[in-house]
Amino acid sequence: MLAAPTSTGPGLIEMEKAIIFNFNLTLPIIAITGELLLLMNSVRDTSKEVKEEQAATVMNAVRAEISEALNQMKREVIVDLEVKMAGAKEGEDHKCH
């Protein structure tokens, strides 16, 4: 029969360390963690680019709306001026006769 060790010698301490830090278990975990870190580093954050693209699209749409509104207002002002000028011209024609 083997007697139970009564003192903790260097061999037993080394075995306990080996049990706590099992390379067969921890090495794959470390490798997977490293791969994940490399993968995460290679994936770019494109959310800023997407937001800038969306902002540019919105700005272009707003500019088009403003341009159309200004053109509509110009047309209305021109029509009003033509009506007023035609009315003023008719008034002058009536005064002259």
pTM > 0.75:
no
Residues 6+ apart with CB under 8 A from 5: 12
For residue range 26-60, what is the model confidence (pLDDT) as tens digits? 778 888 998 988 888 877 777 888 889 999 999 99
The residue ranking higher by pLDDT, 56 or 9, is: 56
Predicted confidence (pLDDT) at residue 84 exceeds the cutoff of 70: yes
Element containing residue 93 per DSSP (H, E): helix 47-96
Taking the C-alpha atoms of residue 69 and residue 77, their distance in angstroms, rounded to an integer, is 12
First to last CA, the chain: 143
Three-class secondary structure of residue 7 per DSSP: coil
Residue spans of the domains in the chain: they are 23-94
Taking the C-alpha atoms of residue 57 and residue 20, their distance in angstroms, rounded to an integer, is 58
